[in-house]
Amino acid sequence: MARPLTAYIDLAALRHNYQLACACAPESQTLAVMKADAYGHGALECARALSDLAPAFAVASIEEADRLRNGGITQPIALLEGFFNASELPRIAERNYWCVVHSQWQIEALANASLVRPITVWVKLDSGMHRLGFSLDEVEPTWHALGVMENVHQRHLMTHFASADLERSPQFVEQLEKARTVARRLDAPVSFANSPATLVHSEAHGAWNRPGIMLYGADPLERATKLSQQLKPVMTLETEVIALRTLGPGEPVGYGGRFKTARPSRIAVIACGYGDGYDRHAPDGTPVLVDGQRAPLAGRVSMDMMTVDVTDLPEVSVGARVTLWGNAATGEALHVDDVARHCETISYTLLTGVLPRVPRRYLTT
Ligand SMILES: *Cc1c(COP(=O)(O)O)cnc(C)c1O
Ligand 1 center–CA 285 separation, angstroms = 31
- 1 annotated as ligand-binding: no
d(CA 276, CA 289): 18
Sign of the CA dihedral with 311 first, then 313, 314, and 315 last? negative
| Per-residue pLDDT, 1 | 64
| Cross-strand pairs, 362 | 9
3-state helix, strand, coil in the chain (%, to 5): 35, 25, 45
Give yes or no for a contact between 248 and 264, defined as CB atoms under 8 angstroms apart: yes
> Would you say the CB of residue 159 lies under 6 angstroms from ligand 1?
no
Q: Which atom of ligand 1 is nearest to the CA of 158?
A: 13
Closest CA to ligand 1's atom 14: 80
Tell me, yes or no, if 178 is annotated catalytic: no
Query: Beta 321-327 vs 287-290: how paired, if at all?
Result: antiparallel
> Would you say the CB of residue 160 lies under 6 angstroms from ligand 1?
yes
**Residues in Cβ contact with 257 at an 8 Å cutoff, skipping those fewer than 6 apart:** none
Amino acid at site 253? V
| Cross-strand pairs, 251 | none
* Neighbour tally for 270: CB within 10 Å: 26
* Neighbour tally for 151: CB within 10 Å: 18
- Mean pLDDT for each 10-residue chunk of the chain (365 residues)? 94 98 98 98 98 98 98 98 98 98 98 98 97 98 98 98 94 97 98 98 98 97 94 98 98 98 98 98 98 97 98 98 91 92 98 98 92
pLDDT in tens, 206-254: 999 999 999 999 999 989 999 999 999 999 999 999 999 999 999 999 9
Q: Which atom of ligand 1 is nearest to the CA of 214?
A: 9
Tell me, yes or no, if 260 is annotated catalytic: no
Burial 50-62 (b: 16+ CB within 10 A, else e): bbeebebbbbebb
- 305 annotated as ligand-binding: no
How much is the pTM?
0.96
Q: What separation in angstroms does the CA of 336 have from each of 16, 105, 125, 170, 273?
A: 18, 40, 32, 28, 16
